[in-house]
Amino acid sequence: MKYASLKYNISMSENEIEETQSHQKRIKSNIGDNIQSIATEQFLPIVDKRFNRDALNQVHENEKFLLIMNGWYTHMPENWPPSESIIPVFIGFHITESYHVKKLLLSDESISYYKRNEPIGCRDKKTAELLSDRGVKTYYSKCLTLTFPKREYEPQNGKVFLVDVEDIPIPKNLEQGSLSLTHIVPRFISDENKTLIAKQILDKYKNEACLVITSRIHCAIPCIAFGIPVIFFGDPDDYRLSILQDLGIEIYKKPKFPIIYNVLKRSRKTAKNNFLFLKFFEVLCEIYRKIFINKYVNWNPILVSIENEKAEIIKKTKETIKFILKENVD
């Protein structure tokens, strides 16, 4: 038996997908996908090959490859279902909220494929519902990024990490001395290097963060697993994010008119050599902050403990892989 993991030739956020489809603008990559592969590879004895998530029907190998299907599916639904060279292990599976994707991933051919590989472990309850409504056996597996080990100690003088929240007003006491990061990287970076960047960022969270404020689900979930308090901004009605609510993490809506705040912050940076202009834009930023900051946000969140739940996910994942190996070897 050979083992495979996923790689990502295309990796975009939903907004970037829409922009690309309508305007054919340049595509950037989201290392959140690579973080998911890092999590799945914890459960494999070796990674013999990596297959493109968005072209799994084009995998033609002489040997069978076990592949954990944790992740977001898919940018190219016309390339679904995967080929017979792949033995799928469906854990953390998510079908994106797109009519075109749902039409193909819930087609009769796709439903037959799921039924041949039951049960299907789903990252969210909505994906489980979409499949179970078509007669597929499913269960709510959550995401394997929840299985990262909890850090052994909290850092002394830990930092507040601001991850892809540049359009969100943050209280001054948290913003001062914070570290800003992004999960978005240029598309031309190789998948191997994106994985390296993802590992470095995960290590940074684990070793340095005392609080993470983010809009990225695969920043939030690994940090929860590490034992780091998280504040999350996004759409509370987006079922892609519902796993966070199930873990006890509140999803706060982003503020209105974010472009104004971005313009003010950029202007403040460009005016840093002019004292009067600098003060002017600092005052405007502070006015915006006071008007639009989310007063309902708990800026001092408690740590969410998931160790019992993590142990159950790990146990179920190992049992599922063992079962599928036995079925395919026998």
From CA 318, how far away is CA 22, in angstroms rounded? 42
Mind listing the pLDDT tens digit of every residue in the chain (330 residues)? 899 999 997 544 444 444 444 433 446 889 999 999 999 999 999 999 999 999 999 999 999 999 999 999 999 999 999 999 999 999 999 999 888 999 999 999 999 999 999 999 999 999 999 999 999 999 999 999 999 999 999 999 999 999 999 888 888 889 899 999 999 998 889 999 999 999 999 999 999 999 999 999 999 999 999 999 999 999 999 999 999 999 999 999 887 666 666 666 666 667 666 666 666 766 776 777 777 676 788 999 999 999 999 999 999 999 999 999 988 875
Q: CA–CA separation, 299 vs 173, rounded Å? A: 10
> Residue 80 corresponds to which tokens in the numbers above?
């679904």
Please say whether the beta carbons of 212 and 231 come within 8 A: yes
The domain ranges of the chain are 2-146+309-329, 148-255+296-305, 256-292
Global pTM reads 0.88
CB-CB neighbours of 152 under 10 Å: 7
Task: Return the exposure string of 130-144: e unless at least 16 CB atoms fall within 10 Å of the residue's CB, then b.
Answer: bbeeeebebbebbbb
Torsion of CA 148, 151, 155, 160, to 10 degrees: 30
- End-to-end alpha carbon distance in the chain: 12
Reported residue count of the chain is 330
Question: What are the helix (H) ranges across the chain?
Answer: 14-23, 32-40, 99-105, 108-116, 125-132, 172-175, 191-208, 217-226, 242-246, 258-270, 275-292, 307-329
**Encoded tokens for 181:** 């990061």
Residue 61's Cβ-count burial label (10 Å; 0-12, 13-18, 19+) is middle
